[in-house]
Amino acid sequence: MRLHHKLYGWLQANAAKVDLITMLLAFAVLALPYLAASPAAFVVATLLVLPLAWRRTRTWQAGAATAAVCLAQVLLGIDPAPAADVLVLVAVYSLAAYAPRWASLGGLALALLGGVLFIVRYWFMPGAVLTFGLVPMYVVGMIATEAVVLVAWAFGDLARTRRLAVQALRERARRLEIERQQERDLAAADERNHIAREMHDIVAHSLSVIITQADGARYASAQDPAVAGTTLATIAETGRGSLRDMRRLLGVLRGDETASTRPLPSLADVGTLVDTVRRSGLAVDYRVQGAARRPMPAGAELTAYRVVQEALTNVLKHAGPAASASVLLTWSARGLQLQVDDDGRGAGADPSGGGQGITGMAERLALYDGTVETGPRTGGGFRVTAFIPYTEA
């Protein structure tokens, strides 16, 4: 930061100290010289100098004090102190720059009236010779005095305008910073929700498959030990796949450039997902009807995959033993409809997984203007129906 910027900042931050120092310097220069020559002029000059200490902190009060001293000087006929009378212009400037608008305009009117009285007083001073030829000189003097007052007020008003503009810019910058922080907080909250959904989808599905396989192998291996090997292979494959997904997700969170760049699941991976669930012992019928009118966004395909994954995970967890499921993907002119049915416990199940599973589905689908409906089927079992339109394609 440059020196003059630092100096300006210090002056603005210590206005009271600066005004006090200015008042003391003005007293030494403008009032003390009158002490020996004219005590009355010294008193007037001192009273005009003192309000300088409050010209920015008590602006209109300081202006009123200056006006009162000048009025008393005229009415009492005290000898003028011309050097100190210049401080009237400082008072006019200060009122225009720092005081309320009513005080600014009132100070301007009083100063203009005081300029007229100043000239008239010299006109009618004892010993003054009034001739017609001197009238133009007095008129010119009066106009010049009023012009100087107006210039001082105009400079003060310009300073006021600039000060208010700077304050408005600072306030706007402060509001923008608050808005940016709020946007960052919202983005962080949204990302946390996204990560929570991904973690739930990855961990819940994989663990459900692993637990189902482990429970089945424990009983089946007593009759056929060869089943244990096949089951353990499925468990290992599922665990490795889940571990890869977790490493990719955590690598993204760490900002690791070496994190896996394997594509996210899409509709093409639904068949692989169904095969994995079948190996866990759940009979799943998978069908696709129709063809896509146009490609869907990668995020929409990931959402469809996660919906099927969550629905099948709920079947494994809640449908009970000997249940079966069906997955139907139907392409229409409006979009993609997914339907996952099972013939398990139906209304007796708790497919919400504590509220996370179905809520996660609805949140994902809402990002693509999709909808989801869940509930028991007539005749037993449970149904999950979701629809994703082409609107985001």
Q: In whole angstroms, what is the distance from residue 246 CA to residue 305 CA?
A: 17
Average pLDDT along the chain: 78
pLDDT tens for 145-156 read 889 889 999 999
pLDDT tens for 50-94 read 888 888 888 888 888 888 888 887 777 776 666 677 888 888 898
E-only strand ranges, the chain:
283-289, 324-331, 335-342, 371-376, 382-389
CA 360 to chain centre: 27
Listed range (40-44, 52-56, 108-112) with the worst mean pLDDT: 40-44
* Cross-sheet strand order for the sheet of 335-342: 283-289, 324-331, 335-342, 382-389, 371-376
Query: φ and ψ at 130, to 5 degrees?
Result: -95, 115
Question: 44 versus 164: which is more confidently predicted?
Answer: 164
Domain 268-393 architecture:
2-Layer Sandwich (3.30)
pTM: 0.48
For residue 4, give the H/E element and its range.
helix 3-13
Q: In whole angstroms, what is the distance from residue 337 CA to residue 360 CA?
A: 18
Query: φ and ψ at 326, to 5 degrees?
Result: -135, 140
Q: In whole angstroms, what is the distance from residue 105 CA to residue 103 CA?
A: 6
Q: Residue 352 has what pLDDT? A: 46
Any idea where the domains of the chain sit in the sequence?
3-130, 268-393
pLDDT tens for 258-313 read 444 556 788 888 998 898 888 877 889 999 998 888 888 888 888 898 899 888 88
Q: In whole angstroms, what is the distance from residue 97 CA to residue 152 CA?
A: 10
Dihedral angle over CA of 128, 131, 133, 136, nearest 10: 60
Q: Residue 295 has what pLDDT? A: 85
CA 81 to chain centre: 57
Task: Write the Ramachandran bin of 381: left for phi over 0, alpha for psi from -120 to 50, otherwise beta.
Answer: left
Q: CB–CB of 360/262 below 8 Å?
A: no
Which two tokens mark 225?
A: 């030990």
Which two tokens mark 235?
A: 């468990």
| Biggest CA-to-CA distance, the chain | 138
